[in-house]
Amino acid sequence: MNNKFDVITIGGSAGSLLVLTELLDALPDRLTAPVIIVLHRLRNVQSEMGRLLSTRRRIVEPEDKEPVREHCVYLAPQNYHLMVEADRTFMLDYSELVNYSRPSIDMTFSSVAEVYGARTLGILLSGANKDGAAGLCQIITAGGRGVVQDPQTAAFEAMPQSAIEMCGGVQVLSIENIKKIIVGET
């Protein structure tokens, strides 16, 4: 198992649920890096997303000021921006929507890039807007690895395509190849 990453961040929106479940199923038991997931969800309805995504690993929605822990899979709480602070604790924020979204993938990716720098893996999946593209660029600029789902395989190509157009150095990969990165094969 390679230990290139201290954190794995995954962002998605429309059309990303099945792919995300596939990625979560591929997480090896020996993976120590925390996984932080940001999904666009309806803001004012009860959500069972954490339960739906929980497969072999339990997924938790972090509390404000909770430390980011190894071996954990986190899901950004519904209707809050999720950021990581310099002391590696979570911060929940209820400020304005970013790219029509709260939680914003951009805000999470940007904060993680500032804290973890080159030890960050950012993955952007299917979605119908450009949220996540600027944050993925920041991960790459900080020396981390930025990956997008091949837009040709995405249910909604706008999100990964925006990152391709905006970021130099982004990798466009199939889901199978993204799984290989997560498990440390490439």
Catalytic positions are 13, 40, 131
Residues, the chain: 186
Q: DSSP letters of 77-121? A: PTTSEEEE-TTSBEEEE----BTTBSS-HHHHHHHHHHHHGGGEE
* Cα dihedral sign, 173-24-137-142: negative
As a whole number of angstroms, the distance between CA 20 and CA 46 comes to 20
Distance of CA 81 to the CA centre of its chain: 13
As a whole number of angstroms, the distance between CA 94 and CA 103 comes to 9
